[in-house]
Structure 1
Amino acid sequence: MTTKLLTVTGLGKSFGGVRAVDGIDFELARGELLALIGPNGAGKSTTFNMVNGQLRADSGSIRLEGTELIGMRPREIWRLGVGRTFQIAETFSSLTAVENVQMALLSADARLWSMWTRAARHRRAEAVELLDQVGMAAQADRPCSVLAYGDVKRVELAIAMANSPKLLLMDEPTAGMAPKERNELMALTKRLVVERNMAVLFTEHSMDVVFAYADRMIVLARGRLIAEGRPAEIRDDPKVQEVYFGSGKTFEKKRAGAQRAADLGEALQ
Protein backbone atom coordinates (compact mmCIF):
# COMPACT_ATOMS: atom_id res chain seq x y z
CA MET A 1 0.00 0.00 0.00
CA THR A 2 1.25 3.49 -0.87
CA THR A 3 0.60 6.96 0.54
CA LYS A 4 -2.67 7.46 2.44
CA LEU A 5 -4.91 9.70 0.31
CA LEU A 6 -8.43 9.83 1.80
CA THR A 7 -9.24 9.74 5.52
CA VAL A 8 -12.86 9.56 6.70
CA THR A 9 -13.55 9.77 10.45
CA GLY A 10 -16.79 9.85 12.44
CA LEU A 11 -18.87 10.53 9.33
CA GLY A 12 -22.56 10.97 10.05
CA LYS A 13 -25.72 12.06 8.23
CA SER A 14 -29.39 12.07 9.24
CA PHE A 15 -32.56 12.66 7.28
CA GLY A 16 -35.26 13.67 9.73
CA GLY A 17 -35.19 11.02 12.43
CA VAL A 18 -33.37 8.47 10.28
CA ARG A 19 -29.64 8.05 10.83
CA ALA A 20 -28.51 7.20 7.29
CA VAL A 21 -24.79 7.13 8.11
CA ASP A 22 -23.72 6.62 11.70
CA GLY A 23 -20.13 7.52 12.58
CA ILE A 24 -18.14 5.53 10.04
CA ASP A 25 -14.35 5.57 9.64
CA PHE A 26 -12.20 4.39 6.75
CA GLU A 27 -9.04 5.22 4.82
CA LEU A 28 -8.00 4.88 1.19
CA ALA A 29 -4.47 4.81 -0.21
CA ARG A 30 -3.06 5.66 -3.59
CA GLY A 31 -2.89 2.66 -5.89
CA GLU A 32 -5.87 1.00 -4.20
CA LEU A 33 -9.40 0.01 -5.25
CA LEU A 34 -11.76 0.14 -2.27
CA ALA A 35 -15.26 -1.29 -2.66
CA LEU A 36 -18.11 0.17 -0.60
CA ILE A 37 -20.85 -2.46 -0.37
CA GLY A 38 -23.94 -3.22 1.64
CA PRO A 39 -27.61 -4.16 1.21
CA ASN A 40 -30.19 -1.62 0.08
CA GLY A 41 -30.59 1.18 2.61
CA ALA A 42 -27.14 0.58 4.12
CA GLY A 43 -25.99 4.18 3.55
CA LYS A 44 -23.69 3.60 0.57
CA SER A 45 -25.07 6.34 -1.66
CA THR A 46 -25.21 8.82 1.21
CA THR A 47 -21.57 8.14 2.06
CA PHE A 48 -20.55 8.36 -1.57
CA ASN A 49 -22.36 11.68 -2.07
CA MET A 50 -20.84 13.18 1.05
CA VAL A 51 -17.33 12.40 -0.21
CA ASN A 52 -18.25 14.02 -3.53
CA GLY A 53 -19.80 17.10 -1.88
CA GLN A 54 -23.33 16.54 -3.17
CA LEU A 55 -24.46 16.07 0.43
CA ARG A 56 -23.02 17.84 3.45
CA ALA A 57 -22.20 15.67 6.45
CA ASP A 58 -23.77 16.46 9.82
CA SER A 59 -20.66 15.31 11.65
CA GLY A 60 -17.20 13.92 11.12
CA SER A 61 -14.40 14.67 8.72
CA ILE A 62 -13.45 13.84 5.11
CA ARG A 63 -9.85 14.75 4.36
CA LEU A 64 -8.07 14.47 1.02
CA GLU A 65 -4.33 14.60 1.73
CA GLY A 66 -5.12 16.67 4.82
CA THR A 67 -7.57 19.07 3.14
CA GLU A 68 -11.06 19.04 4.68
CA LEU A 69 -13.71 18.41 2.02
CA ILE A 70 -16.83 18.92 4.16
CA GLY A 71 -18.35 22.26 3.23
CA MET A 72 -16.87 22.30 -0.27
CA ARG A 73 -19.00 22.21 -3.41
CA PRO A 74 -18.61 19.31 -5.88
CA ARG A 75 -16.78 21.53 -8.39
CA GLU A 76 -14.31 22.64 -5.72
CA ILE A 77 -13.68 19.02 -4.78
CA TRP A 78 -13.29 18.13 -8.45
CA ARG A 79 -10.62 20.81 -8.84
CA LEU A 80 -8.68 19.21 -5.98
CA GLY A 81 -8.36 16.06 -8.09
CA VAL A 82 -11.49 14.01 -7.40
CA GLY A 83 -13.16 12.51 -10.48
CA ARG A 84 -16.48 10.70 -10.68
CA THR A 85 -18.47 8.37 -12.89
CA PHE A 86 -22.19 7.69 -12.47
CA GLN A 87 -24.49 4.68 -12.42
CA ILE A 88 -26.09 5.91 -15.64
CA ALA A 89 -23.33 7.16 -17.94
CA GLU A 90 -23.22 10.97 -18.11
CA THR A 91 -22.23 12.01 -21.64
CA PHE A 92 -23.56 14.40 -24.29
CA SER A 93 -25.11 11.92 -26.73
CA SER A 94 -25.12 14.36 -29.67
CA LEU A 95 -21.38 15.06 -29.35
CA THR A 96 -18.61 12.75 -30.48
CA ALA A 97 -16.52 10.82 -28.00
CA VAL A 98 -13.57 13.18 -28.42
CA GLU A 99 -15.79 16.27 -28.08
CA ASN A 100 -17.12 14.92 -24.78
CA VAL A 101 -13.59 14.59 -23.45
CA GLN A 102 -12.65 18.02 -24.81
CA MET A 103 -15.58 19.50 -22.86
CA ALA A 104 -14.16 17.97 -19.69
CA LEU A 105 -10.72 19.38 -20.49
CA LEU A 106 -12.29 22.82 -21.00
CA SER A 107 -13.83 22.57 -17.56
CA ALA A 108 -10.52 21.47 -16.07
CA ASP A 109 -8.97 24.58 -17.60
CA ALA A 110 -11.78 26.80 -16.16
CA ARG A 111 -12.83 27.93 -19.63
CA LEU A 112 -16.49 26.91 -19.71
CA TRP A 113 -17.46 30.39 -20.89
CA SER A 114 -16.13 29.52 -24.34
CA MET A 115 -16.99 25.84 -24.51
CA TRP A 116 -19.37 25.91 -27.49
CA THR A 117 -17.06 27.92 -29.77
CA ARG A 118 -13.72 26.40 -28.77
CA ALA A 119 -14.48 22.81 -27.75
CA ALA A 120 -13.79 21.41 -31.22
CA ARG A 121 -10.24 22.82 -31.14
CA HIS A 122 -9.36 22.62 -27.46
CA ARG A 123 -6.64 20.09 -26.56
CA ARG A 124 -7.80 17.54 -29.10
CA ALA A 125 -4.55 15.59 -28.94
CA GLU A 126 -4.86 15.22 -25.17
CA ALA A 127 -8.50 14.16 -25.53
CA VAL A 128 -7.59 11.48 -28.06
CA GLU A 129 -4.81 10.28 -25.74
CA LEU A 130 -7.32 9.88 -22.90
CA LEU A 131 -9.62 7.94 -25.22
CA ASP A 132 -6.66 5.78 -26.24
CA GLN A 133 -6.04 4.93 -22.59
CA VAL A 134 -9.55 3.50 -22.33
CA GLY A 135 -9.46 1.76 -25.73
CA MET A 136 -11.70 4.25 -27.55
CA ALA A 137 -9.31 6.23 -29.79
CA ALA A 138 -10.54 4.45 -32.93
CA GLN A 139 -14.08 5.68 -32.21
CA ALA A 140 -13.10 9.22 -31.22
CA ASP A 141 -15.17 10.89 -33.94
CA ARG A 142 -18.34 8.84 -33.52
CA PRO A 143 -21.30 10.41 -31.67
CA CYS A 144 -21.93 8.86 -28.28
CA SER A 145 -25.54 8.25 -29.39
CA VAL A 146 -24.39 5.46 -31.74
CA LEU A 147 -21.89 3.79 -29.41
CA ALA A 148 -22.57 0.55 -27.55
CA TYR A 149 -23.34 1.12 -23.87
CA GLY A 150 -20.10 -0.46 -22.74
CA ASP A 151 -18.20 1.94 -25.01
CA VAL A 152 -20.12 4.92 -23.61
CA LYS A 153 -18.98 3.86 -20.13
CA ARG A 154 -15.39 3.87 -21.40
CA VAL A 155 -15.87 7.40 -22.75
CA GLU A 156 -17.26 8.42 -19.37
CA LEU A 157 -14.13 7.01 -17.73
CA ALA A 158 -11.96 9.08 -20.09
CA ILE A 159 -14.01 12.16 -19.14
CA ALA A 160 -13.46 11.41 -15.45
CA MET A 161 -9.71 11.28 -16.08
CA ALA A 162 -9.62 14.76 -17.64
CA ASN A 163 -8.64 16.47 -14.39
CA SER A 164 -5.87 13.91 -13.70
CA PRO A 165 -7.64 12.69 -10.56
CA LYS A 166 -5.90 11.51 -7.43
CA LEU A 167 -9.17 9.90 -6.37
CA LEU A 168 -11.83 8.45 -8.66
CA LEU A 169 -15.35 7.82 -7.34
CA MET A 170 -17.27 5.21 -9.36
CA ASP A 171 -20.97 4.77 -8.64
CA GLU A 172 -22.13 1.32 -9.84
CA PRO A 173 -19.59 1.38 -12.70
CA THR A 174 -20.80 -1.86 -14.31
CA ALA A 175 -24.57 -1.31 -13.99
CA GLY A 176 -26.40 -2.36 -17.15
CA MET A 177 -23.37 -4.08 -18.66
CA ALA A 178 -22.95 -7.65 -19.87
CA PRO A 179 -20.53 -9.87 -17.88
CA LYS A 180 -17.74 -9.58 -20.47
CA GLU A 181 -18.08 -5.77 -20.55
CA ARG A 182 -18.09 -5.60 -16.74
CA ASN A 183 -14.83 -7.48 -16.47
CA GLU A 184 -13.18 -5.49 -19.25
CA LEU A 185 -14.13 -2.15 -17.67
CA MET A 186 -12.91 -3.12 -14.20
CA ALA A 187 -9.68 -4.64 -15.54
CA LEU A 188 -9.11 -1.35 -17.37
CA THR A 189 -9.83 0.62 -14.20
CA LYS A 190 -7.39 -1.49 -12.20
CA ARG A 191 -4.69 -0.92 -14.81
CA LEU A 192 -5.24 2.86 -14.69
CA VAL A 193 -5.05 2.80 -10.88
CA VAL A 194 -1.62 1.22 -11.06
CA GLU A 195 -0.33 3.34 -13.95
CA ARG A 196 -1.52 6.65 -12.48
CA ASN A 197 -1.01 5.76 -8.80
CA MET A 198 -4.49 7.01 -8.00
CA ALA A 199 -7.19 5.60 -5.73
CA VAL A 200 -10.69 4.36 -6.56
CA LEU A 201 -13.68 4.20 -4.24
CA PHE A 202 -16.56 2.35 -5.89
CA THR A 203 -20.00 1.02 -5.07
CA GLU A 204 -21.14 -2.11 -6.85
CA HIS A 205 -23.96 -4.65 -6.66
CA SER A 206 -22.17 -7.32 -8.70
CA MET A 207 -20.32 -9.36 -6.10
CA ASP A 208 -18.30 -11.14 -8.78
CA VAL A 209 -16.86 -7.77 -9.83
CA VAL A 210 -16.20 -6.73 -6.24
CA PHE A 211 -14.40 -9.91 -5.23
CA ALA A 212 -12.40 -10.05 -8.47
CA TYR A 213 -11.10 -6.48 -8.52
CA ALA A 214 -11.29 -4.81 -5.10
CA ASP A 215 -8.10 -4.64 -3.06
CA ARG A 216 -10.15 -4.02 0.10
CA MET A 217 -13.82 -3.79 0.98
CA ILE A 218 -15.88 -1.92 3.54
CA VAL A 219 -19.37 -3.12 4.35
CA LEU A 220 -22.20 -0.95 5.65
CA ALA A 221 -25.47 -2.05 7.23
CA ARG A 222 -28.08 0.40 8.53
CA GLY A 223 -25.60 3.23 8.30
CA ARG A 224 -22.85 1.54 10.31
CA LEU A 225 -19.60 -0.02 9.19
CA ILE A 226 -19.79 -3.70 10.12
CA ALA A 227 -16.72 -5.10 8.35
CA GLU A 228 -13.54 -4.03 6.60
CA GLY A 229 -10.81 -6.10 5.00
CA ARG A 230 -9.51 -8.03 2.03
CA PRO A 231 -12.07 -9.80 -0.19
CA ALA A 232 -11.28 -13.22 1.30
CA GLU A 233 -11.85 -11.87 4.81
CA ILE A 234 -15.15 -10.27 3.86
CA ARG A 235 -16.35 -13.37 2.05
CA ASP A 236 -15.95 -15.43 5.21
CA ASP A 237 -17.24 -12.83 7.68
CA PRO A 238 -20.34 -14.23 9.47
CA LYS A 239 -21.81 -10.76 10.10
CA VAL A 240 -21.56 -9.85 6.43
CA GLN A 241 -23.16 -13.11 5.31
CA GLU A 242 -25.95 -12.64 7.84
CA VAL A 243 -26.69 -9.12 6.63
CA TYR A 244 -26.72 -10.11 2.98
CA PHE A 245 -28.35 -13.51 3.05
CA GLY A 246 -29.56 -14.46 6.50
CA SER A 247 -28.35 -17.66 8.13
CA GLY A 248 -27.28 -20.68 6.12
CA LYS A 249 -26.18 -18.87 2.96
CA THR A 250 -22.82 -17.64 1.69
CA PHE A 251 -21.43 -15.64 -1.23
CA GLU A 252 -20.21 -18.89 -2.76
CA LYS A 253 -23.71 -20.40 -2.74
CA LYS A 254 -25.12 -17.22 -4.23
CA ARG A 255 -22.45 -17.26 -6.97
CA ALA A 256 -23.20 -20.90 -7.76
CA GLY A 257 -26.91 -20.12 -8.01
CA ALA A 258 -26.24 -17.18 -10.32
CA GLN A 259 -24.05 -19.35 -12.54
CA ARG A 260 -26.76 -22.01 -12.79
CA ALA A 261 -29.25 -19.32 -13.80
CA ALA A 262 -26.86 -17.97 -16.43
CA ASP A 263 -26.25 -21.48 -17.81
CA LEU A 264 -30.00 -22.06 -18.01
CA GLY A 265 -30.49 -18.76 -19.82
CA GLU A 266 -27.89 -19.71 -22.43
CA ALA A 267 -29.49 -23.12 -22.91
CA LEU A 268 -32.88 -21.53 -23.59
CA GLN A 269 -31.55 -19.10 -26.21
Structure 2
Amino acid sequence: MSLLKVSGLGKSFGGVKAVDGIHFELAAGELLALIGPNGAGKSTTFNMVNGQLPADAGSIQLNGQELVGRKPRDIWRMGVGRTFQIAETFASLTVVENVQMALISNDNRLFAMWRKAADHKRDEALALLDQVGMKSQADRPCSVLAYGDVKRVELAIAMANAPKLLLMDEPTAGMAPKERNELMALTKQLVIDRNMAVLFTEHSMDVVFAYADRMIVLARGRLIAEGKPLELRDHPKVQEVYFGTGKTFEKKTAAAAAEAA
Protein backbone atom coordinates (compact mmCIF):
# COMPACT_ATOMS: atom_id res chain seq x y z
CA MET A 1 0.00 0.00 0.00
CA SER A 2 1.29 3.47 -0.89
CA LEU A 3 2.08 5.92 1.88
CA LEU A 4 1.95 8.94 -0.46
CA LYS A 5 -0.36 9.12 -3.45
CA VAL A 6 -0.24 12.12 -5.79
CA SER A 7 -2.76 12.30 -8.63
CA GLY A 8 -3.62 14.95 -11.22
CA LEU A 9 -1.50 17.55 -9.42
CA GLY A 10 -1.41 20.93 -11.10
CA LYS A 11 -0.16 24.45 -10.45
CA SER A 12 -0.02 27.50 -12.71
CA PHE A 13 1.62 30.88 -12.35
CA GLY A 14 -0.15 33.27 -14.66
CA GLY A 15 -0.37 31.47 -17.96
CA VAL A 16 2.52 29.10 -17.22
CA LYS A 17 1.75 25.56 -16.04
CA ALA A 18 4.56 24.87 -13.60
CA VAL A 19 3.10 21.45 -12.75
CA ASP A 20 0.73 19.86 -15.20
CA GLY A 21 -1.30 16.87 -14.03
CA ILE A 22 1.48 14.75 -12.54
CA HIS A 23 0.90 11.56 -10.61
CA PHE A 24 3.10 9.19 -8.60
CA GLU A 25 3.08 7.00 -5.50
CA LEU A 26 5.61 6.36 -2.77
CA ALA A 27 5.72 3.46 -0.31
CA ALA A 28 7.12 3.28 3.21
CA GLY A 29 10.74 2.13 3.21
CA GLU A 30 11.42 3.64 -0.21
CA LEU A 31 13.61 6.46 -1.52
CA LEU A 32 12.13 8.16 -4.57
CA ALA A 33 14.23 10.66 -6.52
CA LEU A 34 12.48 13.52 -8.31
CA ILE A 35 14.73 14.82 -11.08
CA GLY A 36 14.53 17.10 -14.07
CA PRO A 37 16.17 20.16 -15.62
CA ASN A 38 15.78 23.65 -14.15
CA GLY A 39 12.18 24.80 -14.48
CA ALA A 40 10.83 21.24 -14.60
CA GLY A 41 8.50 21.80 -11.62
CA LYS A 42 10.41 19.93 -8.92
CA SER A 43 10.37 22.68 -6.28
CA THR A 44 6.75 23.53 -7.04
CA THR A 45 5.80 19.90 -6.52
CA PHE A 46 7.72 19.80 -3.23
CA ASN A 47 6.07 22.98 -2.01
CA MET A 48 2.60 21.64 -2.77
CA VAL A 49 3.23 18.38 -0.91
CA ASN A 50 4.58 20.42 1.99
CA GLY A 51 1.63 22.84 1.92
CA GLN A 52 3.72 25.93 1.20
CA LEU A 53 1.94 26.34 -2.14
CA PRO A 54 -1.75 25.63 -2.73
CA ALA A 55 -2.46 23.19 -5.53
CA ASP A 56 -4.73 24.39 -8.34
CA ALA A 57 -5.81 20.85 -9.15
CA GLY A 58 -5.38 17.27 -8.06
CA SER A 59 -4.93 15.34 -4.85
CA ILE A 60 -2.07 14.61 -2.42
CA GLN A 61 -2.89 11.86 0.07
CA LEU A 62 -0.81 10.65 3.00
CA ASN A 63 -2.11 7.34 4.33
CA GLY A 64 -5.44 8.19 2.71
CA GLN A 65 -5.66 11.65 4.30
CA GLU A 66 -5.89 14.61 1.94
CA LEU A 67 -3.08 17.17 2.29
CA VAL A 68 -4.32 19.70 -0.27
CA GLY A 69 -5.75 22.69 1.54
CA ARG A 70 -3.90 22.07 4.79
CA LYS A 71 -1.31 24.43 6.28
CA PRO A 72 2.39 23.44 6.45
CA ARG A 73 2.24 23.22 10.24
CA ASP A 74 -0.70 20.78 10.07
CA ILE A 75 1.05 18.68 7.42
CA TRP A 76 4.18 18.60 9.57
CA ARG A 77 2.14 17.35 12.52
CA MET A 78 0.68 14.61 10.30
CA GLY A 79 4.19 13.23 9.85
CA VAL A 80 5.82 15.04 6.95
CA GLY A 81 9.35 16.31 7.61
CA ARG A 82 11.52 18.42 5.32
CA THR A 83 15.10 19.49 4.74
CA PHE A 84 16.10 22.34 2.44
CA GLN A 85 18.69 22.95 -0.29
CA ILE A 86 20.34 25.52 1.98
CA ALA A 87 20.45 24.04 5.47
CA GLU A 88 18.28 25.90 7.96
CA THR A 89 19.45 25.95 11.58
CA PHE A 90 19.71 28.56 14.34
CA ALA A 91 23.40 29.47 14.13
CA SER A 92 23.41 31.13 17.56
CA LEU A 93 22.11 28.00 19.31
CA THR A 94 24.06 24.85 20.07
CA VAL A 95 23.56 21.69 18.05
CA VAL A 96 21.46 20.04 20.76
CA GLU A 97 19.38 23.18 21.34
CA ASN A 98 18.42 23.25 17.66
CA VAL A 99 17.02 19.73 17.94
CA GLN A 100 15.36 20.48 21.28
CA MET A 101 13.52 23.41 19.72
CA ALA A 102 12.11 21.09 17.05
CA LEU A 103 11.01 18.55 19.67
CA ILE A 104 9.32 21.26 21.74
CA SER A 105 7.53 22.55 18.66
CA ASN A 106 6.34 19.04 17.85
CA ASP A 107 4.78 18.80 21.31
CA ASN A 108 3.00 22.13 20.69
CA ARG A 109 4.30 23.42 23.99
CA LEU A 110 4.52 27.11 24.75
CA PHE A 111 7.32 28.18 27.02
CA ALA A 112 8.65 31.47 28.30
CA MET A 113 11.30 32.81 25.95
CA TRP A 114 13.64 33.48 28.87
CA ARG A 115 13.73 29.80 29.80
CA LYS A 116 16.70 28.01 28.31
CA ALA A 117 16.06 25.35 25.70
CA ALA A 118 18.55 23.21 27.64
CA ASP A 119 15.78 22.60 30.20
CA HIS A 120 13.68 20.64 27.70
CA LYS A 121 13.99 17.22 26.04
CA ARG A 122 17.77 17.07 26.04
CA ASP A 123 17.91 13.27 26.23
CA GLU A 124 15.58 12.87 23.23
CA ALA A 125 17.59 15.41 21.28
CA LEU A 126 20.84 13.63 22.08
CA ALA A 127 19.34 10.33 20.90
CA LEU A 128 18.46 11.89 17.55
CA LEU A 129 21.93 13.41 17.24
CA ASP A 130 23.43 10.02 17.98
CA GLN A 131 21.51 8.58 15.02
CA VAL A 132 23.05 11.12 12.64
CA GLY A 133 26.56 10.95 14.12
CA MET A 134 26.51 14.37 15.80
CA LYS A 135 26.15 13.55 19.49
CA SER A 136 29.81 14.32 20.20
CA GLN A 137 29.27 17.87 18.93
CA ALA A 138 26.00 18.45 20.79
CA ASP A 139 27.16 21.45 22.80
CA ARG A 140 28.95 23.28 20.00
CA PRO A 141 27.23 26.26 18.37
CA CYS A 142 25.94 25.52 14.88
CA SER A 143 27.80 28.58 13.63
CA VAL A 144 31.18 26.80 13.93
CA LEU A 145 30.22 23.55 12.20
CA ALA A 146 31.40 22.39 8.80
CA TYR A 147 28.65 22.49 6.20
CA GLY A 148 28.35 18.70 6.01
CA ASP A 149 27.78 18.58 9.77
CA VAL A 150 25.13 21.31 9.56
CA LYS A 151 23.27 19.10 7.05
CA ARG A 152 23.39 16.25 9.57
CA VAL A 153 21.95 18.52 12.26
CA GLU A 154 19.20 19.58 9.87
CA LEU A 155 18.41 15.91 9.30
CA ALA A 156 18.12 15.35 13.05
CA ILE A 157 15.78 18.35 13.27
CA ALA A 158 13.65 16.91 10.47
CA MET A 159 13.41 13.63 12.39
CA ALA A 160 12.06 15.37 15.51
CA ASN A 161 8.42 14.77 14.55
CA ALA A 162 9.11 11.09 13.71
CA PRO A 163 8.08 11.62 10.09
CA LYS A 164 6.40 8.97 7.99
CA LEU A 165 7.49 10.95 4.93
CA LEU A 166 10.66 13.03 4.62
CA LEU A 167 11.05 15.58 1.83
CA MET A 168 14.69 16.41 1.01
CA ASP A 169 15.31 19.28 -1.38
CA GLU A 170 18.80 18.94 -2.93
CA PRO A 171 20.14 17.26 0.23
CA THR A 172 23.74 17.06 -1.03
CA ALA A 173 24.01 20.52 -2.62
CA GLY A 174 27.34 22.17 -1.83
CA MET A 175 28.86 19.00 -0.39
CA ALA A 176 32.05 17.17 -1.36
CA PRO A 177 31.66 13.66 -2.86
CA LYS A 178 32.58 11.91 0.39
CA GLU A 179 30.12 14.02 2.39
CA ARG A 180 27.39 13.38 -0.20
CA ASN A 181 27.77 9.63 0.06
CA GLU A 182 27.95 9.66 3.86
CA LEU A 183 24.76 11.73 4.16
CA MET A 184 22.78 9.60 1.70
CA ALA A 185 24.02 6.34 3.23
CA LEU A 186 22.83 7.67 6.59
CA THR A 187 19.46 8.62 5.09
CA LYS A 188 19.13 5.16 3.53
CA GLN A 189 19.76 3.54 6.90
CA LEU A 190 17.18 5.77 8.60
CA VAL A 191 14.64 4.78 5.94
CA ILE A 192 15.27 1.12 6.73
CA ASP A 193 15.34 1.52 10.51
CA ARG A 194 12.23 3.71 10.70
CA ASN A 195 10.33 2.29 7.70
CA MET A 196 9.70 5.81 6.46
CA ALA A 197 9.57 7.15 2.91
CA VAL A 198 11.85 9.77 1.37
CA LEU A 199 11.10 11.96 -1.64
CA PHE A 200 14.19 13.89 -2.71
CA THR A 201 15.34 16.14 -5.52
CA GLU A 202 18.93 15.85 -6.64
CA HIS A 203 21.23 17.06 -9.41
CA SER A 204 24.08 14.64 -8.64
CA MET A 205 23.33 11.57 -10.71
CA ASP A 206 25.86 9.45 -8.82
CA VAL A 207 23.73 10.00 -5.71
CA VAL A 208 20.52 9.09 -7.54
CA PHE A 209 21.95 5.90 -9.04
CA ALA A 210 23.59 4.82 -5.80
CA TYR A 211 20.73 5.42 -3.36
CA ALA A 212 17.32 5.90 -5.03
CA ASP A 213 15.00 2.90 -5.25
CA ARG A 214 13.04 4.59 -8.02
CA MET A 215 13.04 7.93 -9.79
CA ILE A 216 10.51 10.10 -11.55
CA VAL A 217 11.52 12.58 -14.23
CA LEU A 218 9.78 15.89 -14.88
CA ALA A 219 10.11 18.20 -17.86
CA ARG A 220 8.17 21.45 -18.24
CA GLY A 221 5.84 20.45 -15.44
CA ARG A 222 4.97 17.03 -16.84
CA LEU A 223 6.01 13.57 -15.76
CA ILE A 224 7.84 11.95 -18.66
CA ALA A 225 9.30 8.80 -17.11
CA GLU A 226 9.17 6.69 -13.95
CA GLY A 227 11.08 3.60 -12.90
CA LYS A 228 14.29 2.25 -11.40
CA PRO A 229 17.31 4.51 -11.98
CA LEU A 230 19.29 2.01 -14.03
CA GLU A 231 16.24 1.33 -16.20
CA LEU A 232 15.83 5.02 -16.99
CA ARG A 233 19.49 5.84 -17.46
CA ASP A 234 19.37 5.19 -21.19
CA HIS A 235 15.74 6.21 -21.72
CA PRO A 236 15.77 8.33 -24.93
CA LYS A 237 13.25 10.90 -23.71
CA VAL A 238 15.03 11.31 -20.37
CA GLN A 239 18.37 11.77 -22.12
CA GLU A 240 16.87 14.34 -24.46
CA VAL A 241 15.11 16.57 -21.95
CA TYR A 242 17.50 16.23 -19.04
CA PHE A 243 20.85 16.48 -20.73
CA GLY A 244 20.26 17.63 -24.28
CA THR A 245 21.59 16.13 -27.47
CA GLY A 246 24.61 13.87 -27.25
CA LYS A 247 24.93 13.77 -23.47
CA THR A 248 24.42 10.79 -21.19
CA PHE A 249 24.13 9.94 -17.53
CA GLU A 250 27.28 9.07 -15.65
CA LYS A 251 27.18 5.33 -15.14
CA LYS A 252 28.30 5.17 -11.53
CA THR A 253 27.43 2.38 -9.16
CA ALA A 254 27.33 2.83 -5.40
CA ALA A 255 30.75 1.20 -5.13
CA ALA A 256 32.21 3.46 -7.80
CA ALA A 257 30.74 6.54 -6.15
CA ALA A 258 32.23 5.53 -2.80
CA GLU A 259 35.59 4.82 -4.40
CA ALA A 260 35.58 8.23 -6.10
CA ALA A 261 35.01 9.87 -2.74
Q: What range is the shorter-chain TM-score in?
A: over 0.9
2:80 aligns with 82
- What aligned pairs does 1:145-224 form with structure 2 within 5 A after superposition? 145-224=143-222
Residue 20 of structure 1 pairs with residue 15 of structure 2: no
What is the distance in 1 between the residues matched to 2:176 and 2:48? 30
Q: Counterpart amino acid of 1:26?
A: F
Tell me which moved more, 119-128 or 23-32. 119-128
What is the distance in 1 between the residues matched to 2:229 and 2:7? 22
2:5 aligns with 7
Query: In the TM superposition, what whole-angstrom CA distance separates every residue of 1:45-75 from its partner, at most 9, and x where no partner exists?
Result: 0001000000000000000001000000100
Could you tell me how far 1:115 is from its partner in structure 2?
5.5
1:139 aligns with 137
Query: In the TM superposition, what whole-angstrom CA distance separates every residue of 1:118-148 from its partner, at most 9, and x where no partner exists?
Result: 5211110010000000000000000000111
Q: Secondary structure at the match of 1:111?
A: coil
What is the distance in 2 between the residues matched to 1:76 and 1:17? 30
2:95 aligns with 97
What is the distance in 1 between the residues matched to 2:113 and 2:128? 19
Q: Counterpart amino acid of 1:138?
A: S
What is the distance in 2 between the residues matched to 1:53 and 1:117? 31
> 8 Å contact 1:62–1:68 — kept in the other structure?
yes
What is the distance in 2 between the residues matched to 1:252 and 1:64? 34
What is the distance in 1 between the residues matched to 2:114 and 2:249? 49
Could you tell me how far 1:113 is from its partner in structure 2?
4.0
Query: In the TM superposition, what whole-angstrom CA distance separates every residue of 1:203-230 from its partner, at most 9, and x where no partner exists?
Result: 0111111111100000000000000000
Pair 1:116–1:221, CA change in 2 (3 A) = farther
What is the distance in 1 between the residues matched to 2:59 and 2:242? 28
> 8 Å contact 1:103–1:115 — kept in the other structure?
no
Tell me which moved more, 43-52 or 112-121. 112-121
Q: Compute the TM-score of the two structures, normalised by the length of structure 2.
A: 0.94
> 8 Å contact 1:150–1:181 — kept in the other structure?
yes
Q: Secondary structure at the match of 2:3?
A: strand
Could you tell me how far 1:247 is from its partner in structure 2?
2.8
Quick one: which of 67, 70, 91 aligns to 1:69? 67
What percent of counterpart residues are identical?
82
Which segments of 5 or more consecutive residues in structure 1 lack a partner in the other structure?
264-269
Q: Secondary structure at the match of 1:78?
A: helix
> 8 Å contact 2:206–2:250 — kept in the other structure?
no
> 8 Å contact 1:106–1:115 — kept in the other structure?
no
Pair 1:132–1:116, CA change in 2 (3 A) = farther
Could you tell me how far 1:111 is from its partner in structure 2?
1.2
> 8 Å contact 2:205–2:250 — kept in the other structure?
no
Could you tell me how far 1:233 is from its partner in structure 2?
1.1
Q: Counterpart amino acid of 1:173?
A: P
> 8 Å contact 2:81–2:161 — kept in the other structure?
yes
Could you tell me how far 1:249 is from its partner in structure 2?
2.2
What is the distance in 1 between the residues matched to 2:113 and 2:57? 38
> 8 Å contact 1:211–1:231 — kept in the other structure?
yes
Q: Counterpart amino acid of 2:220?
A: R
Q: Counterpart amino acid of 1:91?
A: T
Q: Counterpart amino acid of 1:94?
A: S
Query: In the TM superposition, what whole-angstrom CA distance separates every residue of 1:168-190 from its partner, at most 9, and x where no partner exists?
Result: 00011001111100000000000
Pair 1:176–1:116, CA change in 2 (3 A) = farther
